[in-house]
Structure 1
Amino acid sequence: MRTAVRGANHPVVEAAARWGLAARGLIYLLVGVLALGISFGEGSEQADRGGVLQELAQQPLGEALVWAVGVGLAGMALWRLSEVLVGSAGPDGRKPTKRLMAGARFVLYSVISFSVLAFAAGEQDSGSSDKQSRGVTAMVLDLFAGQWLVGAAGLALTGAGGWIAVRAVMRKYRKHLMTGAMSARTRRIVDLLGVCGGASRGIVFAAAGVYAVRAAVQLDPDEAKGLDDTLRALADTSAGPLLLSVVAAGLGLFGIFSFAMARWRRV
């Protein structure tokens, strides 16, 4: 048990986790900025990870920035793998459900970091989330019971989005933060970032899930939407571009919240 605890608190794992949270923060911050541009009718870039990578690559030291993001996301995967092996921080960190969730996050961040590092290494296609969503949906729909699988995945994504939003509003993230190291003013700011940012992130996840369900019901993979198309679809609702602006700002706030997590999260 002591060996496990030392492994979970290893300086390399902690550094990897904090770098990864900062990399995630940069992606969400820039997605929010790109989405705001779309809401004002001034953005042509994809408001997703691919668009962010393209934008970073065009900046001074852009290649180094992309590599830094890719390595950071690989660090996130390493951190989640350590939680699978030895448990996460907190009294219930070794529960099977916690390890299972950590395992799912490990797979997710492994895939994402690989795609980012491939782009940094010279792969020109940074990966449109919309094309990927339609491609995967079409492939699954061709399988036996594919319609049910896509529908179930959409419902799960919708539920996950609602769960993310509700937990953010209930400030469940506080148990992961070293709030004692913050001033009262900093805690209020972090709460604002966590609630608004987490709720916006949950809304986007839930909306993407709804479109996946529609793709299943209509047996049409073109109904499935990635992050960029999901955000653009918000502007087509009765609330118009205002809703997209609010959600885009929230995603940017979640990016800043991730920076706060990089600083104060218990690892």
Structure 2
Amino acid sequence: MSNQDLSWAVPVMRAGYAGRGVVYLVVAGFSLFALWHGGQAKGTSSALAQLERSTWGGLVLFLIFVGMVAYAIWRSLDATYDLEEYGTDGKGMVARAGMIVTGINHLALGIAAFLLLFTSGSGEGGGGSSSIVKAVDTVMGWPAGRWLVGIAGLATLGAGIYYGIKAVKEKYREHLRANSFTTRWNWVLKAGVLAQGVIVTIIGCFIVYAAWTANPDEAGGVGEAFSWLNGQIYGQVLVAIVCVGLLGFAIFCFVNAAYRVVPKVAGDDVMTLARRAKQKAERKVS
């Protein structure tokens, strides 16, 4: 398919990243508000449930639903047509398979937001299991379910480590258009991606441990990751730092919505952050 044929995927991508940014803005915002008032940081389900009870909650939940569906469609298109040119070698196929999994996860989140609009249940999660625990419990009941959970945990753990490497090496710059905003606020983007890596890595460890112990209750999501961090030395400080970092990740998502470059659509002549940084380094050497 030609670049022009695929250009319609770009608005879908931008809507998806915008919706993803709203999710992290809600989670980080409610968590920081709770911490400021002496409470506990919120998991995704708890934050969405609290959002549903707010004045503009219904509208925001609908926007999250639309955004998550768009993000799932975008990831499917990206993986199918290799819009970001990861290639067909082993590394590229793993990356493209990861896009499908990520899309499914965000679609599930979108469905959860949609259901909150039409149910009276709080979805708070207090006293009940998180969606990840329920999913792990279900899969463990399947043939070879424990192995499947372990593989999923390792994949999640790998994704978290990948986010960390992506932040440290600033590889995300390869897909962002260079301009005054993205250049000046690159440190915020880096902190956001790193914070996301921390959370995803902890969740991956939980899932792997659940598989190791054959106990679904050992799994957990964002809320359980916050609880674990809170139990460490200077736990409240750690949670607050990660929450601020997730605000940075929300900004990262919004920046992607506005300035992400899709190579197969944009072509090779777009000035990305990575290309500008390389040119700047070359000028220094010369």
Q: Same fold, TM exceeding 0.5? A: yes
For 2:117, the equivalent position in structure 1 comes to: 120
For 1:14, the equivalent position in structure 2 comes to: 10
Distance 1:35 1:127, change over 3 A: closer
Q: Is residue 2:76 matched to residue 1:63?
A: no
Q: Is residue 2:193 matched to residue 1:198?
A: yes
For 2:22, the equivalent position in structure 1 comes to: 26
Alignment of 1:143-158 (within 5 A): 143-158=142-157
Give CA-to-partner distance per residue, 1:96-120, whole Å, 9 cap, x none. 6254333333323332222222322
Number of corresponding residues: 256
Q: Does structure 2 retain, via aligned residues, the 8 Å contact 1:7–1:82?
A: no
The residue type equivalent to 2:38 in the other structure is: E
Distance (Å, rounded) in 1 between the aligned partners of 2:233 and 2:212: 23
Distance (Å, rounded) in 1 between the aligned partners of 2:50 and 2:130: 19
Distance (Å, rounded) in 2 between the aligned partners of 1:82 and 1:196: 28
Deviation at 1:251, TM superposition (A): 0.8
Q: Is residue 2:222 matched to residue 1:223?
A: no
The residue type equivalent to 1:80 in the other structure is: R
Distance (Å, rounded) in 1 between the aligned partners of 2:210 and 2:96: 31
Distance 1:121 1:42, change over 3 A: same
Distance (Å, rounded) in 1 between the aligned partners of 2:218 and 2:198: 18
Deviation at 1:162, TM superposition (A): 0.9
Deviation at 1:25, TM superposition (A): 0.8
TM-score (norm 2): 0.79
Deviation at 1:38, TM superposition (A): 4.7
Unaligned runs of 5+ in 1: none
Distance (Å, rounded) in 1 between the aligned partners of 2:59 and 2:32: 26
Distance (Å, rounded) in 1 between the aligned partners of 2:200 and 2:4: 35
Distance (Å, rounded) in 1 between the aligned partners of 2:56 and 2:235: 37
Unaligned runs of 5+ in 2: 263-286
Q: Does structure 2 retain, via aligned residues, the 8 Å contact 1:116–1:126?
A: no
3-state DSSP of counterpart to 2:38: coil
3-state DSSP of counterpart to 2:233: coil
For 2:269, the equivalent position in structure 1 comes to: none
Identical aligned residues as a percent: 27
Distance 1:209 1:85, change over 3 A: closer
Distance (Å, rounded) in 2 between the aligned partners of 1:113 and 1:94: 29
Distance (Å, rounded) in 2 between the aligned partners of 1:214 and 1:67: 35
Q: Is residue 2:79 matched to residue 1:81?
A: no
Distance (Å, rounded) in 2 between the aligned partners of 1:232 and 1:123: 27
For 2:184, the equivalent position in structure 1 comes to: 188
Give CA-to-partner distance per residue, 1:167-226, whole Å, 9 cap, x none. 1121111111111xx11x64131x112211111111111111112222222222221112
Q: In structure 2, which of residues 238, 246, 259 is the aligned counterpart of residue 243 of structure 1? A: 238
Q: In structure 1, which of residues 109, 132, 144 is the aligned counterpart of residue 106 of structure 2? A: 109
For 1:164, the equivalent position in structure 2 comes to: 163
Deviation at 1:78, TM superposition (A): 2.1
Q: Does structure 2 retain, via aligned residues, the 8 Å contact 1:83–1:102?
A: yes
Q: Does structure 2 retain, via aligned residues, the 8 Å contact 1:171–1:194?
A: no
**Relative to structure 2, which stretch is displaced further, 94-103 or 238-247?**
94-103
Q: Over the residues paired in the alignment, what is the CA RMSD in angstroms?
A: 2.5
Distance (Å, rounded) in 2 between the aligned partners of 1:208 and 1:186: 29
